Amino acid sequence: MFGKKKKKKDEAPEAEAEGAARAAEGGEGAEGEAAPAKKKLSGKKLVLFIILPALLVLGAGGGAAFMLLSGGGGGEQHAAADTGSHGKSKGGHGAEEAGPTPGPNGTTISPGEGVVFVSMPEILVNITGPDGRPAYLKLRLTLEAPDQATVTTLTASVPRISDQFNGFLRELRTDDLAGSAGAYRLRLELLRRVNLAIAPAHVNAVLIEEMLVQ
């Protein structure tokens, strides 16, 4: 009886030792299983930390590129619209103020403010120079007409006007054209002759664009 009781006492510590060993193995197994799980979690976190900022940067860059592209296109369209409207306004302004146009008998017609300017064909005649030597007079004249009706009469009468001018100019001497007084007298004489040629119409003034004596 005593022998059996002793055996049971001996078996009890052995059972406790085996239980402790199994518990230790179970703990190690649990720790072993937990370690890969932790590694997996830490790996996922690392991937997220790398990928998320990259996605944010790419998203921000894409948004900025989209804004730039859309903004740039709008700017180009706006600039094109401004250019088009500006061009149209210029065209309208040009239509209001027409430039010089060719007229009959070598004339050029230019509208002004309340008047019309008619440029005559160039005049080149011989005049008498110092000591009776021949000289040349070159004139470019513009006549100021009060209205379009006078312009019509004036341009149709250019041959008659040119004949009046040439007959008068050939009688001049170079001394007659000297100074501002000479130019003033020349304008008055030419004005009188052109109004005689187109009467009852009349022009307001004769403008000397160029006068050259050689």
**pTM for the model:** 0.55
Length of the chain: 214
What is the spatial distance between Cα 41 and Cα 35, in angstroms, rounded to a whole number?
10
Chain Cα centroid distance, residue 144: 37
CA separation for the pair 27, 213 (Å, rounded): 127
Per-residue pLDDT, 124: 96
What pLDDT digit, counting tens, does each position of 96-148 carry? 557 899 999 999 999 999 999 999 999 999 999 988 899 999 999 999 999 99
Q: Please give the Cα distance from 179 to 184 (Å, whole number).
A: 9
Determine the Cα angle at 92 with ends 91 and 93, to 5°: 90
pLDDT at 132: 85
Longest dimension (CA), the chain: 180
Select the more confidently predicted residue: 188 or 83. Answer: 188
Among the listed residues 212, 20, 200, 38, the one whose alpha carbon sits nearest the alpha carbon of residue 12: 20
User: Cβ(183)–Cβ(208) under 8 Å?
Assistant: yes
Cα→Cα distances 41→30, 44, 55, 87, 203, Å: 16, 5, 21, 68, 104
CATH of domain 101-213: 3.30.479.30
Residues whose CB falls within 8 Å of the CB of residue 177, separated by 6 or more in sequence, listed in order: 137, 183, 186, 211, 213
| DSSP bridge pairs for 213 | 137
pLDDT in tens, 78-91: 444 444 444 444 44
Q: Where are the chain's structural domains?
A: 1-97, 101-213
* Token pair for 64: 């900025």
Structure tokens at 59: 């998203």
Given a cut of 60, whether residue 61 has pLDDT beyond it is no
Give the model's pLDDT for residue 214: 87
In this structure, the strands spanning 108-111 and 123-128 are unpaired
Is there a contact between 182 and 176 (Cβ–Cβ < 8 Å)? yes
Nearest-angstrom CA–CA distance, 17 and 23: 10
Distance spanning both ends of the chain, measured CA to CA: 166
